[in-house]
Structure 1
Amino acid sequence: CEFCQRGDDVLCTRMKLMGEHVDGTFAQWLSVPVENLFPMPAHLDFVQAAALGVNYLTAWRMLFTRAQLKPWETVLVFGVGGGVSLAAMQLAASIGARVIVTSREDDKLQRALALGAHEAINGRTEEVARRVMALTDGRGVDVVVENVGEAVWASAMKSLVRGGRLVTCGATSGDQPPADLKRIFIRQLQIIGSTSGNAAEFRELLAYVERHGITPVIDSVYPLAAIHEALDRLESGSRMGKVGLALQPSG
């Protein structure tokens, strides 16, 4: 299609993802086109490297291709316990940007601070936008990264500086938030959609991760025989980072 021809295969009109549109990857062996294979960074194990193709690629495109985040800017990342949000926090901090994170759990906020976030906001006990304004001396943030949708949309919009950018890749709490059109055009805000990433972005991400020694956050790892326990952990609200499966090749 026209998007594949220009190198942006993530916009392909016939794109299919393993595990969503076709059989997934809970197996010892897979057959894929050779152009879909990339060398993994040497300092990562297989579970850590596997996280790069989803969470980190999604966050990379959101931050650097779509929102064009700069090192001197401030970014607000909602729901830092989730994989994409953790990846966005790590990548944004690695370029020198100031990173504010939110969660409804204090232990996740403390872990995020230990992993490189600069400030943390408990969305259950604090009003996020008000706290953001206090932390930025009434200015607001340059970029908001969110994948929650309806539940945080109003706070996300109110947290932006005039001319700021909101980039979203999900709507787990609902996809029909109030548009708040007056705020968008009066403050000249940008609302940017993003999903996954293309092959060129993945090459850039892999090189960057290896050069800067970035390690994806893994919550827990299970053997394939414990797949049901792994899925239960995945559904639990207490996890932070990815849940991995350690697969051994069959004879």
Structure 2
Amino acid sequence: MRALQLVSDRNLEIADIAPPDSPGEGEVEIEIGAVALNHIDVWGWRGMAFAKRKLPLVVGAEAAGTVVSVGPGVDQLGVGQRVAIYGAQTCGTCRACREGRENLCENVGGIHGFHLDGFARERMVTKARLCVPVPDNVGMVDAACASITFGTVEHMLFDNAELEAGETILVQAGGSGIGTAAIRLAKHIGATVITTVGSDEKAEKARALGADHVINYRTERFEGVVRKLTRKRGVDVVFEHTGVDTWQGSLFSLTRGGRLVTCGSTTGITAQINLMQLFQQQYRIFGSFGCAIHNLSDGLAHMAEGVLPVVDTVITLDQIEEGLARLESRKVFGKIVMTMS
């Protein structure tokens, strides 16, 4: 069967690999329908893995597909069921997994597409408990954005920051995949959204998504605009995922007792913090990585209600390098999704 493999840094090849074995106890075989691209794919493409990996490696960390066969003991899923797939091989038995906090698994076996073979292949076998049914009115391309894009945002906004209706949120990099999802989900629950983007073109698109205020960070200091918009009060929540370039401004944008939640460090991993400011203003800072399986279910439920991911481009398997280059260039607005058929 066909698969997309990383054979060396920045060198991807479409290869013929052996099909998977039949699913075992508690497993299902899935025909992959669509794979969503993320910055984690760009990092892997550049060779920036966080752990040792063995090449060639099948890429793809976020996907959806259709169950084509089930193993013994699987009764929650059936043949023909469309599913979104959780991207980490969690143990399912540690305390965190038992409590539904799979992203804190104590014995995680790795992340697909980064440490383990990923989803960019025609078929794969995985544990049934890592698959979440897709609602009938949600398409395959949208469902492919459930595990990282919507799942990450659901976990950041609602599990960690506990964003509520009537609050004001600053979404950094509102044109990114998770930024566009954060805008839509925050507006869906009744929050006021301020967002930053890097061009006037993206500003228009962000407003069309429902953002109440859009700041072009290349022409304005976003923290000053935020203080002005909020009459010096600041925002209740900052959705931060860009790193050192926006860190200080994000903290300055918070109201007293405000919450900052971060899941990324694209512009650098080391930032300074004023401890006096931290405790005097009583900020709450949350580090957020990945999501729990229930966040996939919540994200798919929101999609079924019409809160869909923003898809910039749909590409084919043969166009993967073009897709990664577009993602790396930051010209993308929303998600790039690769279909497997």
- The TM tier, using the shorter chain, reads over 0.9
Correspondence 1:101 to 2:195: yes
Q: Quote the offset at 1:181 in angstroms.
A: 1.1
Does structure 1 retain, via aligned residues, the 8 Å contact 2:180–2:310?
yes
2:57 maps to none
Alpha-carbon distance in 2 for matches of 1:134, 1:42: 44
- Deviation string, structure 1 residues 75-110 (Cα, Å, up to 9, x no partner): 000011211111111100110100000012111111
1:20 Cα offset (Å): 1.5
Which TM-score applies when normalising by structure 1?
0.95
Alignment of 1:11-160 (within 5 A): 11-15=104-108, 16-160=110-254
Alignment of 1:203-218 (within 5 A): 203-210=297-304, 212-218=305-311
Alignment partner for residue 103 of structure 2, among 10, 23, 43? Answer: 10
**SS of residue paired to 2:125:** coil
| 2:285 is aligned with 1:185 | no
- Residue 69 of structure 1 aligns to a residue whose secondary structure is coil
Deviates more, 1:225-234 or 1:55-64: 225-234
Deviating runs (4+, > 4 A) in structure 1?
none
Separation of aligned partners in 2, 1:41 and 1:147: 29
| Distance in structure 2 (CA, Å) of the matches to 1:119 and 1:82 | 16
Residues 85 and 146, structure 1, Cα contact 8 Å, conserved in 2: no
**1:6, distance to aligned residue in structure 2 (A):** 2.0
Give CA deviations for 1:87-135 in whole Å, capped at 9, x if unaligned.
1111001101000000121111110110111100111111111100111
Q: After superposition, give the CA deviation of every residue in 1:152-175 in whole Å (9 maximum; x if it has no partner).
A: 001100000000000000111112
User: Matched residue of 1:32: which SS?
Assistant: strand
Q: 1:200 aligns with which of 294, 319, 334?
A: 294
Give the Cα separation in 1 of the matches to 2:196 and 2:323. 25
Q: Deviations over 1:212-237 (max 9, x none)?
A: 21111111011112222222222222
Between the aligned partners of 1:35 and 1:233, the Cα distance in structure 2 is 34
Q: Which runs of 5+ in 1 are unaligned?
A: none
In the alignment, residue 198 of structure 2 is paired with which amino acid?
R
Q: Residues of 2 paired with 1:131 and 1:242: CA distance?
A: 27
Task: Return 213-222 or 199-208, whichever deviates more.
Answer: 199-208
Question: In the alignment, is the contact (CA less than 8 A) between 1:70 and 1:97 conserved in 2?
Answer: yes
Query: How far is 1:45 from its partner?
Result: 2.2
User: Radius of gyration: which is bigger?
Assistant: 2
Amino acid at match of 1:12: C
Gap runs ≥5 in structure 2? 1-93
Deviates more, 1:161-170 or 1:231-240: 231-240
Q: Distance in 2 between matches of 1:69 and 1:196?
A: 18
* Identical residues among aligned pairs (%): 39
Query: When the two structures are superposed, what TM-score results if normalisation uses the length of structure 2?
Result: 0.70
Cα deviation, residue 145, structure 1: 0.2
What is the match of residue 323 of structure 2? 230
Query: Residue type matched to 2:133 in 1?
Result: P
1:198 is matched by which residue type in structure 2?
Answer: A
For 1:39 and 1:207, locate their aligned partners in 2 and report how far apart those are by CA, in whole Å: 10
- Paired letter, 1:218: V
Q: Which has the higher contact order (CA 8 A, sep 6+)?
A: 1
Computed over aligned residues only, the root mean square deviation of the Cα atoms, in angstroms, reads: 1.2
Higher strand proportion (structure 1 or 2): 2
Paired residues of 2:138 and 2:303 also in contact (CA < 8 A): no
Report deviation, 1:140. 0.5
User: Given that residues 257 and 284 in structure 2 are in contact (C-alpha distance below 8 angstroms), is that contact kept between their aligned partners in structure 1?
Assistant: yes
May I ask how many residue pairs the two structures share in their alignment? Answer: 247
Higher helix share: 1
Give CA deviations for 1:142-197 in whole Å, capped at 9, x if unaligned.
00001011000011000000000000001111121111211110100011111111
2:267 is aligned with what amino acid? S
CA–CA distance in 2 between the matches of 1:204 and 1:233?
A: 29
